[in-house]
Amino acid sequence: MSAFSQDILELLRLDYGVSPEQASTVQIYDAVSRAAMAQARRRWQTPARGKRACYFSAEFLMGRMIGANLYNMGLLKECASFLAAHGLDMNMFEEIGDAALGNGGLGRLAACFLDSAATCGVPLDGYGIRYRYGLFAQTFEDGFQKEAPDDWQRFTDPWAVRREEDAVLIRFADQTVRAVPYDSPVIGCGENALVNTLRLWQAEAQRPFDFDLFNRQKYSAAVEERDRAEAISAVLYPNDDTREGKRLRLKQQYFFSAASLADLVKRYKAAHGPDLSGFAEAYAIQLNDTHPTISIPELLRLLMEEGMDFDAAFAVVCRTFAYTNHTIMAEALEKWDVNLFKSVVPQLYPYVELLENALEMELALRRVPREKKQNYRIICRGQIHMARMAIFATHSTNGVARIHTEIIKHSALPEWYALWPERFNNKTNGITQRRWLALCNPELSGLITQRIGDGWITDLDQLKRLVPYADDPATQDAFLAVKEEKKRQLAQVIRSKEGFRLDPTFLYDIQIKRLHEYKRQFMNALSILDLYYGIKEGRITDLQPTAFLFGAKAAPGYYRAKGIIKLINEIARLVDGDEAVRGLLQVVFVQNYNVSYAEKLIPAAEVSEQISTAGTEASGTSNMKFMLNGAVTLGTYDGANIEIVEAAGEENNYIFGARVEDIEKLRQSYDPKQIYQAEPRVRRVMDALVDGTLSDGSTGVFRELYDSILEGASWHRPDQYYLLLDLIPYCETRLRLNRDVRDRRAFAKKCLLNIANAGQFSSDRTIRQYAREIWSV
Ligand code: GLS
């Protein structure tokens, strides 16, 4: 028996007093993980030499860690045979919940980057928050979203080690708390692999309780300090692409930024002595969006309190930090109220003012006219503009897809680009092929490896060698057989999780991502209604039966997003209850969409829905995952979709709708009512919201959705995301796709060409670009 298997047995016996046959799933999970940890720890020490990069991020959406870690360590097969020997199998770990310490693409990107950096030999450590509760668990009641706390730690946390010795104190105006780090090894795959570190900070009280109060039987007062401290890392804010200007949120940001910087300064001094002037040569820090931007005044403070003057300290700050922008949605650009800021971290405000003064001097030097200065001010009208601070006090600002970077430069932040063009650069996002192909789709991985070898696992460009096979009927058939198998597997999952019978012979058309108006799940819903009426009215006669699948969480306070979930669930009910369409359409909205669910949905997809309004989705990353698993993209000219179809061929994908330029021209004159009146199909599906066809349980939310399109609201124009503009082109493109899939082999060819051209969307490529072009590591 191998050492690994022996370790598992021993851990089960010593810690739980059970044999594998007697053990619960959580016990087996814990023992297997810790046995693997024991091996990882041998390779896991931070080398004292060489520059390191640090990824500061409020979110790390790791998903389930056991599969990926065992895979990268080469222990997956051994684990499977160990389990098999005891009548168990790897599927048992499906019960283990995800570590959902992130909202969506931004947090998942951080997780993919960690995997890629460790695999590519890039020394990159993640720094973030160990939230007690991750993103809420979602269920549907009568079609409405219900939220419940995500208690992920109930499955134990065997992949993390508490490092008491590295705890630091973090000071706020009204409390001082301990930040205690929990470290997880980030285990790379293959020959160049490193074991890097993900360090997540947990907030704790300096004293667990007040003994005097306790003795006086004032129990709740005795633990008040503890509760207030723990509140800081208690829960992840559930907003994606929007920001909440709340006090606790600012505390979270300062908490992990200050703890991480204290940690780095301590390490730096241990290695290089007290003079911090070489800090930027030892550490490169990437700010994942503006959430950790408060690190800028904090590092300035640390350096100046050590005796550096402003100019020297500012130079170190600029050379240390780089900033990634992940969205240009106005409501997402973080601004902090000056008074709030001062009441939380008063010690930092003078440093914000120093930054503002330095900016003022730069603007004067560069002769920026007075009336233009407003667009630059970090402190402006009682607010601190974090994106401005991040651009001013770093050496690099990057967008996450080509179009997004162009929009930043030329329309979102043109005044900044005009002054510092050399700072702006693009780093198109990527995804790790280890999780998003090798692990989640062993069937397709096997087929690919059988054709071109397994080099793609650490070098995704090798997929190019599949191009000749796209025309090969045997490969096409093999691909179709794999797809069918993945659809069958997904149907089983959905049967057990949702109690819904999905027909595996249907075409699987999938939209999974956070629920947001700009992502236009609503337009997808309207298009399904158009199909529904098209079939009922005899306009559509030859539809290839299609299942429309959705997965999405709505921020709990986002009323319309929740209305859209209810709407889609009502459409599902309508379709399911109608004999005339049941054999042609299915609609299912899965509950609690998360990383693990994505790993089931994506391999089964034939159509990838990427339909955001042009210019709104910075990049998207599920688009890349679908492509890699052989789905065609039905999408707009937005985010990374553009680069995807450029790589895989527009003829192998389905692009429709207005482009950024079209929308810009149209903006002033756009009138959705005109479309509504002129186009009966549009009128038909819109009216279904308010004519009694669909019921919102008398909440009025469908009327609100209807009005948001046709009337607008005090804060926005009617149909601000141009659903009606793109609706008919979308429906027609969908029908064209639907006709095309009938020729199975021709469709398989398109899918294979998408796979073959997915190489550039590996996060291995992205991370190498960051390492070379931004971090110099
Ligand atoms: C996001 C963008 O909305 C996505 O388009 C992008 O792919 C992702 C990672 O760069 O970042 N920004 C955000 O606030 N949440 C996201 O998912």
Long-range contacts of 147-153 (CB under 8 A, 24+ apart): 147/238, 147/556, 149/235, 150/97, 150/100, 152/97, 152/98, 152/99, 152/100, 152/101
Q: Tell whether 666 is covered by a domain.
A: no
Residue nearest to atom 11 of ligand 1 (CA): 106
Is 198 domain-assigned?
A: yes
pLDDT number for residue 48: 62
Given a cut of 80, whether residue 157 has pLDDT beyond it is: yes
- 662-705 tens-digit pLDDT: 999 999 999 999 999 999 999 999 999 999 999 999 999 999 99
pLDDT digits (tens, 9 = 90+) for 235-244: 999 998 888 8
Residue of 239, 291, 326, 517 to test ligand 1 pocket, by largest number of atoms within 8 Å of CB: 326
Q: The CATH number of the domain where 306 resides is what? A: 3.40.50.2000
> For residue 730, is pLDDT > 80?
yes
Query: Does the annotation mark 464 as catalytic?
Result: no
**Do residue 266 and residue 353 come from a single domain?**
yes
pLDDT in tens, 524-580: 999 999 999 999 999 999 999 999 999 999 999 999 999 999 999 999 999 999 999
Predicted local distance difference test score (pLDDT) of residue 222: 87
- Whether 31 and 155 have beta carbons less than 8 Å apart is answered as no
pLDDT (tens digit per residue) in 746-768: 999 999 999 999 999 999 999 99
2-11: long-range contacts (C-beta < 8 A, 24 or more apart)? 2/78, 4/35, 4/36, 4/39, 4/75, 4/78, 4/79, 4/82, 5/78, 5/82, 7/31, 7/34, 7/35, 7/38, 8/32, 8/35, 8/82, 11/35
Does the residue 159 lie in any domain?
yes
Work out the pLDDT band at 219, boundaries 50, 70, 90: confident
Place of tokens 């200007």: 245
Give yes or no: residues 400 and 537 share one domain. Answer: no
Could you tell me if 52 and 110 lie in one domain?
Answer: yes
Whether 105 is in the pocket of ligand 1, judged by its Cβ within 6 Å, is yes
Residues 26 and 75 in one domain: yes
Per the model's pLDDT, the better-predicted residue between 329 and 672 turns out to be 672
Rounded CA Rg of the chain: 27
In terms of domains, do 391 and 472 share one?
no
Q: Is the CB of 423 under 6 A from ligand 1?
A: no
What is the Cα–Cα distance from 76 to 98, expressed in whole angstroms?
Answer: 18
- What is this structure's pTM? 0.98
Report if residue 681 sits inside a domain. Answer: no
Q: Let me know if 218 is a catalytic residue.
A: no
Question: What's the per-residue H, E or C state across 256-275?
Answer: HHHHHHHHHHHHHHHHHCCC
**600 catalytic per annotation:** no
pLDDT score at 331: 83
Residue 451 lies in a domain: no
111 in contact with ligand 1, CB cutoff 6 A:
no
Is 586 contained in some domain? yes
How many domains are contained in the chain? Answer: 3
439 found inside a domain: no
Partners of 507 in beta bridges: 546
Choosing from 483, 519, 749, 765, the catalytic residue is: 519
Looking at ligand 1, which residue's alpha carbon is closest to its atom 13? Answer: 241
Q: Is 199 in the pocket of ligand 1 (CB under 6 A)?
A: no
Is residue 92 domain-shared with residue 144, that is, in the same domain?
Answer: no
- The whole-number average pLDDT for the span 495-504 is 97
Q: Indicate whether 93 and 207 sit together in one domain.
A: no
Q: Across all residues in the chain, what is the average pLDDT?
A: 97
Percent of the chain with pLDDT over 70: 100
Catalytic residue among 516, 625, 681, 749: 625
Do residues 34 and 110 share a domain?
Answer: no
- Report how far ligand 1's centroid is from the alpha carbon of 106 (Å): 5
Residues 83 and 230 in one domain: no
pLDDT digits (tens, 9 = 90+) for 427-475: 999 999 999 999 999 999 999 999 999 999 999 999 999 999 999 999 9
What local confidence, expressed as pLDDT, does residue 46 receive?
67
Q: Are residues 32 and 107 in the same domain?
A: no
- 26 in the same domain as 131: no
- Respond yes or no: is residue 513 known to be catalytic: yes
Q: In this structure, is residue 82 part of a structural domain?
A: yes
**Domain limits at 342?**
43-59+102-429+768-775
Cα 240 to averaged position of ligand 1 atoms, centre (Å): 8
- Coil, helix or strand at residue 148: strand
pLDDT value, residue 107:
98
The reply to whether 97 and 108 lie within a common domain is no
Say if residue 462 is exposed, middle or buried (CB neighbours under 10 Å; 0-12, 13-18, 19+): middle
Give CA–CA dist 39/54, Å, rounded: 24
